[in-house]
Amino acid sequence: MKQILIISDGIPGHFNQSNGVALMISETYECTIATHKMSWRLNFLRSACTVIAKLLLRLENKIIARCILWMYSPIHIQGYDLIIAAGGNTMPVSAAIKLAHSIPVIQLGSPRGLHSSMFNALVTIEKYFEHPSNIVAAISPNLYSPAVCSRAAQKDNRTEHILFLIGGEGIGYSY
């Protein structure tokens, strides 16, 4: 059984994207999904920590990656086979985890100064890098995969599907 850890920055849209990817994986592989809400050790320095971490990650050094992880509250990653995260706040953390612990990482969102090679998969809505880890999605991942929608329709014996979009902005889209 695969163990997936979602690292959340507390933003619902980012969590839903990460959860959507985890649920798609769970449709193919037997797995458990856990969530960790990240936070900074020194909350008043969170912006500075994020900027410094992104700069330091360019050195791609395991010791530096462990120092970056120290800037955040402890994340217990032992036993996890995959890390999934979304949004700019989680990028330094997930990149440092991959570098320091060699755990595969799927990161969702624009690169914000980090190369896609820092992740096993960087899912974006446009091509940023000519690198196989930069995966371009036609729409942002979410909780409502085609399989989920089909099961819901079958449950209620529905033959037609309706999608309601109620205002807001998402990755690349405004409703």
pLDDT at position 173 is 53
Annotate 124-134 with b (16+ C-beta within 10 A) or e (fewer).
Answer: bbeeeeeeebb
Contacts of 120 (CB under 8 A, 6+ apart): 98, 104, 105, 106, 133
Give pLDDT, residue 130.
93
| Backbone dihedral angles phi then psi of residue 93, each to the nearest 5 degrees | -65, -50
Return all residues near 24 (Cβ < 8 A) that are at least 6 apart. 141, 145
pLDDT value of position 149:
67
* Diameter over CA atoms, the chain: 56
Give me the residue spans of the domains in the chain: 2-142
Distance CA 175, CA 160 (A): 22
Q: What is the pLDDT of residue 157?
A: 73
The CATH number of 2-142, from 1.10.8, 3.30.450, 3.40.50, 3.30.310, is: 3.40.50
Per-residue pLDDT of the chain (175 residues), as tens digits, is 899 999 999 998 899 899 999 988 998 999 999 999 999 888 888 888 888 888 888 888 899 999 999 999 999 999 999 999 999 889 999 999 999 999 999 999 988 889 999 999 999 988 999 999 999 987 777 776 666 667 777 777 766 666 666 666 555 555 5
pLDDT value, residue 164: 64
The C-alpha angle 31, 143, 107, rounded to 5 degrees, equals: 70
In degrees to the nearest 10, what's the CA dihedral of 68, 71, 73, 78?
Answer: 20
Residues 6+ apart with CB under 8 A from 1: 30, 31, 32
Rounded CA separation 19/25 (Å): 10
Q: Cα–Cα distance between 134 and 120 in angstroms, integer?
A: 9
What per-residue confidence (pLDDT) applies to 163?
64
CA-based torsion, 107, 111, 114, 116: positive or negative: positive
